[in-house]
């Protein structure tokens, strides 16, 4: 997989306290989804225009995963809501929205635990699996 220059610039422009997590998310996605194409685009178009652009990873032309920096912290996007649903209890309040995981340490989840869960989800996503969750 080739680096997309806009993704490089996006990570470099992120708040300093989020960059290392974004770099690790990028490496995780690329490692678990080696067939994915790295792109920089708006995953959802807003009415009358284009939404915010972010790093996305497409498999067979379909957006599968992505990441972003937000005020509240780094986010991992998994475009298989049913897969994320299986991690609802484990993720707790770190699950925000249908496709988002807040990669921010909480009282119940350390960053290390979140990264382990992300690894498991991305591995299953890469294999197209859907079975019981929460071994992380």
The full DSSP string for 11-35 is: HHHS-HHHHHHHHHHHHHHHHH-TT
Q: What is the pLDDT of residue 127?
A: 73
Q: Read off the pLDDT of residues 34-62 as tens digits, 9 standing for 90 and up.
A: 999 999 987 665 555 566 789 999 999 89
pLDDT of residue 36: 93
The pLDDT-based confidence of 90 (bands split at 50, 70, 90) is very high
Rounded to an integer, the average pLDDT of 73-91 is 95
**Cβ neighbours for 113, distance < 8 A, ≥ 6 positions apart:** 136
Assess whether pLDDT exceeds 60 at residue 1. no
Query: Which domains, from first to last, does the chain contain?
Result: 5-42+53-127 (3.90.1150.200)
Specify the pTM: 0.85
Going by C-alpha positions, the residue among 7, 52, 53, 12 that lies closest to residue 30 is 7
Tokens of 97: 């929205």
H or E element, residue 77: strand 73-78
């Amino acid at each position: 997989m080739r680096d997309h220059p806009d993704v490089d610039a996006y990570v470099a422009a992120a708040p300093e306290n989020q960059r290392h997590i974004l770099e690790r998310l990028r490496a995780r996605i690329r490692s678990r989804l080696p067939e994915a194409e790295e792109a920089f685009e708006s995953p959802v178009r807003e009415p009358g225009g284009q939404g915010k652009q972010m790093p996305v990873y497409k498999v067979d032309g379909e957006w599968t995963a992505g990441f972003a920096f937000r005020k509240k912290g780094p986010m991992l996007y998994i475009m298989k809501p049913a897969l994320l649903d299986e991690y609802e209890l484990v993720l707790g309040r770190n699950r925000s929205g249908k496709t988002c995981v807040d990669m921010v340490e909480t009282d119940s989840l350390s960053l290390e635990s979140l990264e382990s869960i992300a690894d498991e989800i991305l591995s299953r996503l890469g294999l197209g699996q859907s079975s019981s969750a929460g071994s992380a």
